[in-house]
Amino acid sequence: MEYITSSDFHFKNTAVALGKFEGIHRGHQLLMDEVKKQELHGLQSVVFTFDRPTRLTLTGDTKYKQIYTKEERKTILEKRGINILIEHPFTKEFAALTPERFIREVLVEKVGAKVIVVGTDFHFGYQRRGDHAMLQKLAPKYGYTVEVVEKEQSHGRDISSTYIREELALGNVAKANELL
Protein backbone atom coordinates (compact mmCIF):
# COMPACT_ATOMS: atom_id res chain seq x y z
CA MET A 1 0.00 0.00 0.00
CA GLU A 2 1.26 3.44 -0.88
CA TYR A 3 1.15 5.70 2.18
CA ILE A 4 0.94 9.48 1.59
CA THR A 5 1.32 11.91 4.52
CA SER A 6 1.74 15.18 2.67
CA SER A 7 -0.19 17.31 0.20
CA ASP A 8 2.36 16.53 -2.51
CA PHE A 9 0.84 13.73 -4.60
CA HIS A 10 -0.80 13.15 -7.95
CA PHE A 11 -2.77 10.11 -9.05
CA LYS A 12 -4.98 9.20 -11.98
CA ASN A 13 -7.96 6.89 -12.30
CA THR A 14 -8.89 6.27 -8.69
CA ALA A 15 -11.90 5.26 -6.65
CA VAL A 16 -11.70 7.18 -3.39
CA ALA A 17 -13.48 6.72 -0.06
CA LEU A 18 -13.70 9.93 1.95
CA GLY A 19 -13.98 10.21 5.72
CA LYS A 20 -12.25 10.48 9.06
CA PHE A 21 -11.90 6.70 9.38
CA GLU A 22 -10.78 6.91 12.98
CA GLY A 23 -12.48 3.67 13.95
CA ILE A 24 -12.81 1.81 10.65
CA HIS A 25 -16.06 0.33 11.93
CA ARG A 26 -18.49 -1.87 10.01
CA GLY A 27 -20.00 1.17 8.26
CA HIS A 28 -16.59 2.31 7.06
CA GLN A 29 -15.89 -1.19 5.82
CA LEU A 30 -18.83 -0.87 3.40
CA LEU A 31 -17.10 2.17 1.87
CA MET A 32 -13.85 0.18 1.56
CA ASP A 33 -15.71 -2.68 -0.12
CA GLU A 34 -17.13 -0.25 -2.68
CA VAL A 35 -13.75 1.25 -3.62
CA LYS A 36 -12.26 -2.25 -3.82
CA LYS A 37 -15.02 -3.24 -6.29
CA GLN A 38 -13.88 -0.41 -8.54
CA GLU A 39 -10.51 -2.11 -9.02
CA LEU A 40 -12.36 -4.46 -11.40
CA HIS A 41 -12.83 -1.38 -13.63
CA GLY A 42 -9.12 -0.54 -13.60
CA LEU A 43 -9.23 2.05 -10.83
CA GLN A 44 -6.87 2.22 -7.86
CA SER A 45 -8.55 2.05 -4.44
CA VAL A 46 -7.86 5.10 -2.28
CA VAL A 47 -8.79 6.11 1.25
CA PHE A 48 -8.55 9.87 1.79
CA THR A 49 -8.51 11.05 5.38
CA PHE A 50 -6.61 13.49 7.58
CA ASP A 51 -3.41 13.37 9.60
CA ARG A 52 -5.13 14.54 12.79
CA PRO A 53 -8.61 14.94 14.25
CA THR A 54 -10.20 17.92 12.50
CA ARG A 55 -11.41 19.35 15.80
CA LEU A 56 -7.78 19.67 16.97
CA THR A 57 -7.14 22.20 14.20
CA LEU A 58 -10.56 23.87 14.32
CA THR A 59 -11.07 24.19 18.09
CA GLY A 60 -7.80 23.18 19.74
CA ASP A 61 -9.55 20.27 21.51
CA THR A 62 -6.70 18.02 22.67
CA LYS A 63 -8.91 15.74 24.84
CA TYR A 64 -10.54 14.04 21.86
CA LYS A 65 -9.67 10.35 21.75
CA GLN A 66 -9.35 8.51 18.46
CA ILE A 67 -10.26 4.84 18.46
CA TYR A 68 -7.26 3.70 16.43
CA THR A 69 -3.83 5.22 16.13
CA LYS A 70 -2.67 6.24 12.66
CA GLU A 71 -0.41 3.18 12.58
CA GLU A 72 -3.29 0.85 13.49
CA ARG A 73 -5.48 2.46 10.82
CA LYS A 74 -2.72 2.05 8.25
CA THR A 75 -2.29 -1.63 9.14
CA ILE A 76 -6.03 -2.34 8.91
CA LEU A 77 -6.35 -0.63 5.52
CA GLU A 78 -3.30 -2.45 4.24
CA LYS A 79 -4.85 -5.79 5.29
CA ARG A 80 -8.08 -4.81 3.51
CA GLY A 81 -6.07 -4.40 0.30
CA ILE A 82 -6.44 -0.65 -0.18
CA ASN A 83 -3.91 0.55 -2.80
CA ILE A 84 -3.33 4.08 -1.46
CA LEU A 85 -3.88 5.74 1.92
CA ILE A 86 -3.73 9.52 1.91
CA GLU A 87 -3.49 11.16 5.35
CA HIS A 88 -3.69 14.75 4.17
CA PRO A 89 -2.40 17.48 6.52
CA PHE A 90 -5.42 19.20 8.07
CA THR A 91 -4.50 22.85 8.48
CA LYS A 92 -6.57 26.00 8.94
CA GLU A 93 -5.84 26.86 5.30
CA PHE A 94 -7.05 23.47 4.13
CA ALA A 95 -10.16 23.76 6.32
CA ALA A 96 -10.96 27.06 4.57
CA LEU A 97 -11.30 25.43 1.13
CA THR A 98 -14.78 25.78 -0.31
CA PRO A 99 -16.44 22.48 -1.13
CA GLU A 100 -16.15 23.01 -4.89
CA ARG A 101 -12.52 23.99 -4.64
CA PHE A 102 -11.85 20.81 -2.61
CA ILE A 103 -13.58 18.76 -5.31
CA ARG A 104 -11.70 20.41 -8.17
CA GLU A 105 -8.22 20.91 -6.70
CA VAL A 106 -7.93 17.90 -4.42
CA LEU A 107 -10.29 15.13 -5.52
CA VAL A 108 -10.13 15.65 -9.28
CA GLU A 109 -6.72 17.24 -9.94
CA LYS A 110 -4.62 15.51 -7.25
CA VAL A 111 -6.41 12.30 -6.27
CA GLY A 112 -7.60 11.66 -9.84
CA ALA A 113 -11.03 10.54 -8.64
CA LYS A 114 -13.25 8.81 -11.19
CA VAL A 115 -15.48 7.35 -8.46
CA ILE A 116 -16.09 9.01 -5.08
CA VAL A 117 -17.56 6.90 -2.27
CA VAL A 118 -19.12 8.52 0.81
CA GLY A 119 -21.67 7.80 3.51
CA THR A 120 -25.03 9.53 3.70
CA ASP A 121 -23.85 11.79 6.52
CA PHE A 122 -20.57 12.87 4.90
CA HIS A 123 -19.81 16.62 4.93
CA PHE A 124 -16.74 18.46 3.68
CA GLY A 125 -15.25 21.82 2.85
CA TYR A 126 -15.46 25.14 4.63
CA GLN A 127 -17.96 24.94 7.49
CA ARG A 128 -18.93 21.44 6.29
CA ARG A 129 -21.04 23.01 3.55
CA GLY A 130 -20.46 20.19 1.07
CA ASP A 131 -22.33 16.89 1.16
CA HIS A 132 -23.12 13.91 -1.04
CA ALA A 133 -25.81 15.90 -2.90
CA MET A 134 -23.21 18.52 -3.88
CA LEU A 135 -20.79 15.81 -4.97
CA GLN A 136 -23.54 14.35 -7.18
CA LYS A 137 -24.54 17.74 -8.58
CA LEU A 138 -20.96 18.55 -9.62
CA ALA A 139 -20.12 15.06 -10.92
CA PRO A 140 -20.94 15.82 -14.60
CA LYS A 141 -18.88 19.02 -14.51
CA TYR A 142 -15.77 17.28 -13.14
CA GLY A 143 -16.09 13.83 -14.70
CA TYR A 144 -16.58 11.45 -11.78
CA THR A 145 -19.42 9.36 -10.38
CA VAL A 146 -20.59 9.17 -6.78
CA GLU A 147 -21.56 6.13 -4.73
CA VAL A 148 -23.47 6.99 -1.55
CA VAL A 149 -23.46 4.18 1.01
CA GLU A 150 -26.28 3.91 3.55
CA LYS A 151 -25.39 3.79 7.24
CA GLU A 152 -24.84 0.36 8.76
CA GLN A 153 -26.93 -0.24 11.89
CA SER A 154 -26.62 -2.33 15.02
CA HIS A 155 -29.33 -2.68 17.66
CA GLY A 156 -31.44 -0.02 15.89
CA ARG A 157 -28.69 2.60 15.96
CA ASP A 158 -26.31 3.91 13.29
CA ILE A 159 -22.82 2.52 13.74
CA SER A 160 -20.45 5.42 14.30
CA SER A 161 -17.21 6.24 16.04
CA THR A 162 -19.23 8.15 18.65
CA TYR A 163 -21.29 5.02 19.39
CA ILE A 164 -18.09 2.97 19.73
CA ARG A 165 -16.47 5.52 22.06
CA GLU A 166 -19.63 5.50 24.21
CA GLU A 167 -19.50 1.72 24.52
CA LEU A 168 -15.80 1.82 25.39
CA ALA A 169 -16.46 4.47 28.07
CA LEU A 170 -19.08 2.15 29.57
CA GLY A 171 -16.56 -0.70 29.57
CA ASN A 172 -18.47 -2.63 26.89
CA VAL A 173 -15.39 -3.79 25.00
CA ALA A 174 -17.18 -6.78 23.44
CA LYS A 175 -19.90 -4.49 22.06
CA ALA A 176 -17.31 -2.04 20.71
CA ASN A 177 -15.48 -4.92 19.02
CA GLU A 178 -18.76 -6.08 17.47
CA LEU A 179 -19.24 -2.60 15.97
CA LEU A 180 -15.66 -2.54 14.69
Res 25 pLDDT > 90:
no
CA 62 vs. chain centroid, Å, equals: 21
**In 3D, which of 26, 21, 24 has the Cα closest to residue 155?**
26
* Residue bearing the bigger pLDDT, 157 or 43: 43
- Stretch 130-158: mean pLDDT, rounded? 92
Q: What is the 3 state secondary structure string of the chain? A: CEEECCCCCCCCCEEEEECCCCCCCHHHHHHHHHHHHHHHHCCEEEEEEECCCHHHHHHCCCCCCCCCCHHHHHHHHHHCCCCEEEEECCCHHHHCCCHHHHHHHHHHCCCCEEEEEEECCCEECHHHCEEHHHHHHHHHHHCCEEEEECCCEECCEECCHHHHHHHHHCCCHHHHHHHC
Q: How confident is the model at residue 178 (pLDDT cuts 50, 70, 90)?
A: confident
Percent of the chain with pLDDT over 90: 59
pLDDT mean over 4-29 = 89
Q: Select the more confidently predicted residue: 20 or 165.
A: 20
- Is the pLDDT score of 45 beyond 80? yes
Would the pTM count as exceeding 0.75? Answer: yes
- Look at 6-10, 56-60, 69-73, 147-151 and tell me which has the smallest mean pLDDT: 56-60
